[in-house]
Amino acid sequence: MEFACTFVPKLAGASGVQIRLTQQPSRAAWRMKQQAAHFRTFRTSSALSREAPGGAPEKVRGQRKVFDSVDEAVADIKSGSIILSAGFGLCGTAETIIAAMNRRGVENLHSLTAVSNNAGTAIGGGLSPLIASGQVDRAICSFLGNNKALEKKYLNGDIAIELTPQGTLAEKLRCGGAGIPAFFTPTGVNTFIQSGQIPARFKNGEVVEPGKARETRIFDGRVYNMETAIKGDVAVLRAYKVDEDGNCQFRYTTKSFGPLMAKAAKVSIVEAEHIVPTGELKPEDIDLPGVFIDRIVQATADKIIEIKMLRSNEDPEAQGSQDAALARRNRIAKRAAKELKPGFYVNLGVGMPTLAPSFLPPDNKVWIQSENGILGMGPYPTEEELDADIINAGKETVTLVPGASVFDSSESFGMIRGGHIDVSMLGALQVGANGDLANYMIPGKVFKGMGGAMDLVSNPDATKIVVLTDHVDKNGKPKIVQNATLPLTGARVVSTIITDLCVFEVDRKKGELTLTELAPGVELDEVKQKTGAKFHVADNLGRME
């Protein structure tokens, strides 16, 4: 994402946004207003001038939960509401329900706050229709990606965005549904999340609403950020099977945010691929009890595969012999595979880390975790194995190995923050000599959101953090530097750096680098020339294999 200006220095003088609450209209008046919308055009000079009382629709126990019409099910959602939209990328999104909300139009449904892992995508789907129509005024998400429509609205001041690390977002929702008002987390400490330096809203290149700094507290000698829970008015989600009393069964990675969103909302609407009689779902097959579901509609929208990836039977090294860039990436991935010991539980970030398993010996069983809710991720599928409900953290289609399990995102990030994952591999924009990692933002140039990266590096004493990166950027500037100058993903978190030229081990306490291996054909002088940090050289300097 390209910013019109460097925003950090402007934060101190930014003013807050004032929100005026108005009295909620009666149900009769609301219906008259809805009917009038068919005969006149809505005009406004500012989105903030529209009435948006918010609040949840009426919740009536004992009424029939199955609605014959999706339009009826969303007819009483109020402008100004907080909408919790399930799904990861386009996997598990409530396309049928969102389309019905969009059909109500910006006059009848507007000023929404949407909470979702990502607010729509570059190819549409998910929240994209509501973003494009101007019905969403604020989005709370972890990742923008290549969504140019959202980027434009953000930079023009048409929408506010509160970026939240993915695992923190999941935990905020879990706490919202469990009646826990706040919690402390190591995620985001010593980053712009803690200091509140990521603007929520721009206008004409100026910051008009800064981010919110976090309160901190020390436990056992370590700093933690306080995060507050998220509770919504309405949750919209998609499930595989739903019985007439609202008990839900999800397929594979559609479970990522579905149960969390439903539990955190006052009223939850689920679109079901199959609506079945109560009793058809066995108790052990129910992923979400019916107490959390208020309305059920039939899913009619087709599933959308965001990134279709298929397995290639060609040898990766043979492919690399024909492509210099791939050869360089393979060299890094091949060395990275040596960090994956038999029986390890490993999280692999998008990009080069996903290549590492291709270089594992056949007898080396490694359990690969994907933070959207997989433990036991397999390779890309064949055309016959392709399943829209099985994707990885990069939204790519994947497979599951025998013994794999699937779970929601709060469970997934609990594994990571809790130190149950042995190794986490990520890419980098910059790595400091002390292990500081920056990999999600270049102010003024690049800003797609941190996704789950801040959570992945939140427990570096228990989970070894390995960075895979080219030694220099596309302009020839060193990526390994004495002191990181880009906004941090984590402070003093990296233990090993693997580049196309060499391997560095990091002493995070002393803030020192030691060169331990050189790539084939690379000499020490080249590494010195292309490294922006001081480093020691190991006595037994080896060669990358």
Q: 166-178 and 409-417 are packed helices; what angle lies between their axes, rounded to 10 degrees? A: 120
CB 423 within 8 A of CB 346: yes
Residue among 524, 476, 484 nearest 504 (CA): 524
Segments in 179-266 forming alpha helices (H)? 192-195, 258-264
Residue 33, H or E segment: helix 27-36
Residue among 85, 91, 182 nearest 395 (CA): 91
CB 189 within 8 A of CB 216: yes
What's the CA angle centered on 130, arms 76 and 452, to 5 degrees?
Answer: 110
Gap between the Cα atoms of 169 and 184, Å rounded: 13
Gap between the Cα atoms of 545 and 542, Å rounded: 9
Residue among 171, 167, 157 nearest 200 (CA): 157
Is residue 188 helix, strand or coil?
Answer: coil
Question: Which of 371, 396, 411, 517 is the catalytic position?
Answer: 371
Determine how β-strand 160-163 pairs with β-strand 136-141.
parallel
| Residues ≥6 apart with Cβ < 8 Å to 441 | 192, 429, 447, 450, 486, 487
**Residue 18, CA atoms < 13 Å, CB-side half-sphere:** 2
CB 415 within 8 A of CB 438: no
* DSSP string covering 307-331: B------S-HHHHHTT-HHHHHHHH
**Residue 417, CA atoms < 13 Å, CB-side half-sphere:** 21
Q: Tell me phi and psi for residue 268, to 5 degrees.
A: -120, 130
Please indicate whether residue 371 is annotated as part of the active site. Answer: yes
Matching residue, tokens 């000698």: 221
Beta bridge partners, 439, equal none
Q: Quick one: DSSP state of residue 153?
A: H
Q: How many other CB atoms are found less than 10 A from the CB of residue 435? A: 26
CB 171 within 8 A of CB 117: no
CB 118 within 8 A of CB 57: no
Q: How many other CB atoms are found less than 10 A from the CB of residue 318? A: 8
Gap between the Cα atoms of 539 and 286, Å rounded: 58
Q: Quick one: DSSP state of residue 381?
A: P
CB 182 within 8 A of CB 175: yes
Gap between the Cα atoms of 141 and 113, Å rounded: 11
Active site residues: 371
